[in-house]
């Protein structure tokens, strides 16, 4: 029953009580301040301001860049310059991750398989020796993965990519051992984090033991819980609404980090036009770890 105060009852209150009563009942309603979440632009500015001047100077030399992190358990996304999250680009050596999973599942390679060095001298000294799948991944040995592509074959490669939903790969008999490096194959940062999140949670439609193996060979020995792969593609200019001539450099760092029961998949892509900023290769990983630490995801 609602409370009803009888006016006649006021005559029994002393003067001090009357003043207190009317003081309480006549207080104006004060709106509580609303804490607004920072805008995307404010978040980006805060992060960039947290970086060293040297790091900011390197980023300023890029044509554009984007970074996305994704927690599949909470469906949370954070990142920088979201206009780039859905813009595709050449996968380059990030394809070595699904490539390994397809090869293991097809039975044409295992963790003890040796890829023999042909004797051809390559500019990257790490390629000039025999490799296992793990060491080939560590040095991103293109000739080794070209051997693997030919063992897998066109039909199994196409079927594997389709099952994994790894971007839009343009695979034919003519480019079977180069399609991830040149041509029309493309994947977006959003597609990269979806792929990596499924690998982290072992949700790909491939045997768990093979997903375990791939996760193991992309583990970062210096940071427990971090699993990642770099990629660097050089392609003629394409897309992004301009007509600048020259060569585009796509620098990727993709993977996932797990700690305290949480999973964060990430994809960073740097794009340079012709001239590369100093330390372009290292910058891919550095800026990603900076961002994970900024959000206190990585210690």
Q: For residues 194 and 253, what is the distance between their CA atoms, to the nearest angstrom? A: 14
The catalytic site residues sit at: 93
What is the pLDDT, as a whole number, of residue 194? 98
Class of domain 39-294: alpha beta
Q: What share of the chain is helix, strand, coil (3-state, %, to 5)?
A: 40, 20, 40
Name the nearest CA neighbour of 269 among 186, 207, 183, 199. Answer: 186
pLDDT in tens, the chain (299 residues): 444 444 444 444 454 454 444 454 555 555 565 567 778 888 888 999 999 999 999 999 998 999 999 999 999 999 999 999 999 999 999 999 999 999 999 999 999 999 999 999 999 999 999 999 999 999 999 999 999 999 999 999 999 999 999 999 999 999 999 999 998 999 999 999 999 999 999 999 999 999 999 999 999 999 999 999 999 998 775 544 444 456 789 999 999 999 999 999 999 999 998 788 889 999 999 999 999 999 999 99
What is the pLDDT, as a whole number, of residue 14? 52
Name the nearest CA neighbour of 196 among 65, 72, 67, 66. Answer: 72
The residue ranges of every structural domain in the chain are: 39-294
What is the pLDDT, as a whole number, of residue 90? 95
Q: For residues 36 and 22, what is the distance between their CA atoms, to the nearest angstrom? A: 35
Neighbours of 155 (CB within 10 A): 9
């Amino acid at each position: 029953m609602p409370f009803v105060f009888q006016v006649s009852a006021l005559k029994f209150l002393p003067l001090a009580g009357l003043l207190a009563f009317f003081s309480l009942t006549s207080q104006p309603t004060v709106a509580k301040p609303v804490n607004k979440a920072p805008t995307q632009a404010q978040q980006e500015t805060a992060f960039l301001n947290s970086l060293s001047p040297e790091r900011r100077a390197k980023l300023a030399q890029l044509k554009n860049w984007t970074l996305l992190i994704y927690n599949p358990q909470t469906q949370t996304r954070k990142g920088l310059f979201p206009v780039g999250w859905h813009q595709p680009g050449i996968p380059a050596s990030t394809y070595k991750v699904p490539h390994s999973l397809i090869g293991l599942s097809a039975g044409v390679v295992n963790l003890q398989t040796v890829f023999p060095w042909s004797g051809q001298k390559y500019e990257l000294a790490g390629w000039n020796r025999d490799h296992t799948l793990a060491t080939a991944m560590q040095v991103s040995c293109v000739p080794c993965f070209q051997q693997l592509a030919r063992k897998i074959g066109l039909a199994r490669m196409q079927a594997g990519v389709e099952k994994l939903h790894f971007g839009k790969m343009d695979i034919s008999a003519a480019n079977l051992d180069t399609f991830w490096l040149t041509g029309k194959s493309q994947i977006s940062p959003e597609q990269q984090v979806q792929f990596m999140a499924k690998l982290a949670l072992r949700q790909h439609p491939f045997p768990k033991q093979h997903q375990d193996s791939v996760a193991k060979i992309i583990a970062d020995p210096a940071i427990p819980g971090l699993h990642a792969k770099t990629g660097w593609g050089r392609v003629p200019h394409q897309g992004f609404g301009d007509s600048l001539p020259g060569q585009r450099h796509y620098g990727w760092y993709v993977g996932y980090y797990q700690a305290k029961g949480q999973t964060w998949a990430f994809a960073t892509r740097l794009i340079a036009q012709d001239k590369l900023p100093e330390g372009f290769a290292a910058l891919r990983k550095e800026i990603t770890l900076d961002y994970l630490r900024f959000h206190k995801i990585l210690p």
